[in-house]
Structure 1
Amino acid sequence: MKVGFVTIGQTPRDDVVSEMRSILGENIKIIECGALDSLSLKKIKELAPKNNEPVLITRLRNGREIKLNPKKIASRLQSCIEKLEEDVDVIGILCTGEFQSLKSKKLLIKPSLVLMNTVDSLLQWGKLGVFIPSSDQVEETEKKWSRVCGKVEIATVSPYVGKEGETKKAAERLKDCTLIVLDCFGYNLNTKRAVSEITKRPVVLPRTLMAHALRELFI
């Protein structure tokens, strides 16, 4: 079986795919496509959010963190999907941002829906804790998660440039939450383990959640 991964940044995303590979197994062929793969830094900067526009955070091939307006990259993500459709059986978006317009002739996994529905099915009471990369995303995040939980507590720390101390401080803020979501594909297993150890709460990590969903299709 072949899986196509679409990132809002640049490929390869070894930082993400390596952890997903450990769940999917070596027999699954993975093909990646990035919305920014063919763009110069000058062109990439033109996709940045302005004023109060929505914000997504990703990284470039060289590890640099950047901010993007999701509306400005949606068409490029769709192009990646159409490119991958020729070679893969299922496609997954490596981003928890909401891209309702994306479509595919193949099976398409949108982590935003998987994540929201998972939390909605689990959390019948209490408070939801949410990690996000940037304070610029707080308002949009509150709107999104209030659809499934009346009480939402948000902590911000970058998965790309945030330091260990910042992660610990953010986790301390969420110790009274019932369930915690790391709402970005940049967060890794080490972050999940650290947050879980500090808060003593269940923690949902998008990259492994999607990997398990994909594995269900193949095994």
Structure 2
Amino acid sequence: MKVGFITIGQSPRVDVVPEIKPYLGDAEIIECGALDGLTLEEIKELAPKEGDYVLVSRLRDGTQVRLSREKIVKRLQECIKKLEEEVDVIGFLCTGEFPELTSRKLLVEPSLLLLKTVSALGVSNLGVIVPDPDQVEMTRRKWEGIAENLKVQSVSPYIGKKEDFIKAAQELKECDLIVMDCIGYTLSSKKIVKEITKKPVVLPRTLMARVIGELLEG
């Protein structure tokens, strides 16, 4: 079986794929990035303007990059079209919302997985961690209606330090469940948040990987 992964940044995502590979058995992995083949100048043109839906990702060299959702939709669809010819299942390495993306193969979107999973759990007090302060209000809109009370903190998975995660987690100690709402968050960052809050923590990369693993299992 073959699995395709699409990133809004550049591939390969050496910060993500090795960590989720154990959940995928012996599946062959093929990656595609929305920013693959672009120069730094071209990438800068994709930066968000005021009022844009802000996304945060990573370049191949580990540099953090801020992107406008609207400016990369077409490039993401091109990645899907390319991978459709080669793989059985496609995983989207981003928790942003992209309702307009279409695929002839199964497309696993972490944003939908997170929303449906947390909704099914009936949580009253929800904590959410996102990469960028400019995503806080957008995140409130995304999660409203899923829980009665919502607290949002921001820490970058790419440039945030351990103490930043500790501080954010301390603000979320009263929550029943914490969602780390970005594919960039690692198992080690989850561990920090879980140790501080003593609450269940949902990590998008492993949630998605477990679902894909279930789809691949023979």
Q: Specify the TM-score bucket, using the shorter chain as the normaliser.
A: over 0.9
Match of residue 165 from structure 1: 163
In structure 1, how many angstroms separate the alpha carbons of the residues matched to 2:104 and 2:23? 25
Distance 1:150 1:75 in 2: 35
Aligned to 1:24: 24
Name the aligned partner's letter for residue 100 of structure 1. Answer: P
Amino acid at match of 1:102: L
The answer for the alignment partner of 1:126 in structure 2 is 124
Distance 2:166 2:110 in 1: 25
Q: Which digits, 9 at most, give the CA deviation of each residue in 1:171-208, with x for residues without a partner?
A: 00000001100000000000111110110000000000
2:198 maps to 1:187:
no
User: Which residue number in structure 1 is paired with residue 2 of structure 2?
Assistant: 2
Uncovered stretches (5+) of structure 2, i.e. residues with no partner:
none
Which whole-Å CA distance do the structure 2 matches of 1:70 and 1:150 have between them? 28
- SS of residue in 1 equivalent to 2:16: helix
Equivalent in the alignment of 1:217 = 215
Report the CA distance between 1:151 and its aligned residue. Answer: 1.1
Secondary structure at 1:187's aligned position in 2? coil
The aligned amino acid for 2:65 is I
Identity %: 57
Paired position in structure 2 for 1:98: 97
Matches within 5 A, 1:11-50: 11-25=11-25, 27-50=26-49
Q: List aligned pairs for 1:55-204, cutoff 5 A.
A: 55-122=54-121, 124-204=122-202
Q: 1:180 aligns to what SS in structure 2?
A: strand
Which consecutive unaligned segments of at least 5 residues does structure 1 have?
A: none
RMSD, aligned α-carbons? 0.7
In 2: Cα distance, 1:121 partner to 1:11 partner: 33
CA distance in 2, matches of 1:93, 1:176: 31
Deviations 1:31-67 (A, max 9, x none): 0000000111101111110112110000101111010
Q: SS of 2:80's equivalent?
A: helix
Using the alignment, how far apart are the partners of 1:101 and 1:132 within structure 2?
A: 22
Asked whether the 8 Å contact 2:23–2:213 carries over to 1, the reply is yes
Q: Give the drift of 1:147.
A: 3.0
Instruction: State the SS of the aligned residue for 1:37.
Output: coil
Structure 2 counterpart of 1:112, one-letter code: S
Runs of 4+ in 1 over 4 A off after TM superposition: none
| Cα distance between partner residues in 2 of 1:95 and 1:77 | 11
How far apart are 1:125 and its partner, in Å? 4.0
Q: Please, what TM-score do these two structures have when normalized by structure 1?
A: 0.97
TM-score normalized with structure 2 length: 0.98
Q: Per the alignment, in what secondary structure is the counterpart of residue 14 of structure 1?
A: coil
* CA distance in 2: counterparts of 1:101 and 1:125, whole angstroms: 29
Q: Deviations 1:157-182 (Å, cap 9, x if unpaired)?
A: 10000011111000000000011000
